[in-house]
Chain A
């Protein structure tokens, strides 16, 4: 093997790469915001005793979990405008697509966390006159958050990696930018190495922070 590495090429394209990293960051943040909102809403609905709330929530969760995220964003970006006449930007479409997809997983995480809290906690909350929402907010969720944290962080890490699929609808995030630079420079190994490093720098701090948090919360529960 006598491949000559030319990592200096990364320096040449540093601004393009930084710009891409920024886009990946924002795409993650938008998707995460939508995902958490969807997850919390549908996680609560799935925990409901009312079938009219629980069943549709279940359909959303199972549908988005059992179809590929790639198909979902392509569908939202290309097929939705055909049906509704509403055309949205690729960044918006990707955010919504990843938001809905990760939302289904977050919903399961939240539902599991709520279900793991002993039923007596609900009884005790209601016995002092709390209504459902108050009991959830004051008693159940604060306890459930701690148990949700590890699976939640897993989903966040998955979501960050999932954003690379945005390249298929030309969102100029890291993968898409790297691909265009590769076709220009013919240096795939350098750019993919940089890509791996960039994602590691994104994801590892999240996992590290989660472990710290878990440790801190674990001391008190």
Chain B
């Protein structure tokens, strides 16, 4: 067990089952590097997430947000640095500089089962009904009795507002419904924390709200969440802390009021100006704006 002191605001707590002292945050990342071939996508990322905390990760496309998230549950292997989840090293048994011993597949799977993930593209299993999607993990991975898993699944579907869709196949659902089903599927594993990879980016604008609402409820229930998102409203209202990524590094992080109100970095301010520009989500408004600017431009000449 990791006993070294970590500089976080986390209280020392006794692990309920093992009785061991756990001093770390729930998720901690130090000096993370990741390359895809010659593309150096993560260039030394540090972050920590305390139990019950909601961390929003924002930043321009290609800044490494999704890759960072995928390293947290080892869907992506990392090249340097370390990721810890519940004080345990993720993906490797030990790391001594360049000498790293990969963990067994079984124990990586156990770690992933405790760390739920929701994807941009939903990734529901198309050959299974909504209910079958939700009970798949509990029955196949956790080997819980099917009836018990189904009861839990129905309760979860109720919670995400899909009680009447239990027997539907994913292709009969709207994007928003699919994403809520995917959240129920992740929750069915009773995870200790949840990762969201741009969960609303593939949705039609009118369906974004229903997914964000479910996520907001989860946050209110005290779920530990890391949310990569382009929804600035969600980051501002729901997140406890916002982390801004830029070119594979953490540009800055802090409480939403600070990041959105008084960003320290000019690049943060510039990014926020671009994404929160009034009418930016509305193509017609954007067009009108451009015409207006053109008009002003020609008037000035």
> Which residues does A use to contact B, with CB under 8 Å?
118, 120-121, 123-132, 134, 138-139, 142-143, 146, 220-221
Contact = CB atoms under 8 A, between A and B. Distances in A.
B142 to A, nearest CB: 8
A132 B136 CA distance: 15
B147 interface: no
B141 interface: yes
A127 B116 contact: yes
Contacts of A134: 140-141
Contacts of B110: 129
Residue among B109, B185, B189 with the highest chain A CB neighbour number at 10 A: B109
A131 B105 contact: yes
B242 to A, nearest CB: 24
20 contacts: A118-B121, A120-B119, A121-B123, A123-B75, A123-B119, A123-B123, A124-B125, A126-B112, A127-B75, A127-B112, A127-B117, A128-B113, A128-B116, A129-B137, A130-B141, A131-B105, A131-B109, A139-B125, A220-B127, A221-B171
A140 to B, nearest CB: 10
B297 interface: no
Contacts, number: 71
Contacts of A127: 73, 75, 112, 115-117, 119, 186
B271 to A, nearest CB: 27
- Majority SS at the chain A contact face: helix
A146 B112 CA distance: 29
B136 to A, nearest CB: 7
B105 A132 contact: yes
Residue among A118, A126, A142, A146 with the highest chain B CB neighbour number at 10 A: A126
Interface of B: 73, 75, 105-106, 109-110, 112-117, 119, 121, 123-127, 136-137, 140-142, 169, 171, 182, 185-186, 189
Nearest to A123: B75
Contacts of B189: 128-129
A128 B123 contact: no
B171 to A, nearest CB: 8
B136 A138 contact: yes
A220 B169 contact: yes
A130 B140 contact: yes
Contacts of B73: 127
B67 to A, nearest CB: 13
Given A118-B121, A129-B109, A131-B106, 4 more contacts: A127-B75, A128-B116, A220-B169, A221-B171
Residue among A130, A146, A221 with the highest chain B CB neighbour number at 10 A: A130
Given A134-B141, A138-B136, A129 B123 contact: no
Nearest to B139: A138
Contacts of B126: 143, 221
Residue among A118, A123, A143 with the highest chain B CB neighbour number at 10 A: A123
A188 B208 CA distance: 73
B160 to A, nearest CB: 16
A128 B75 contact: no
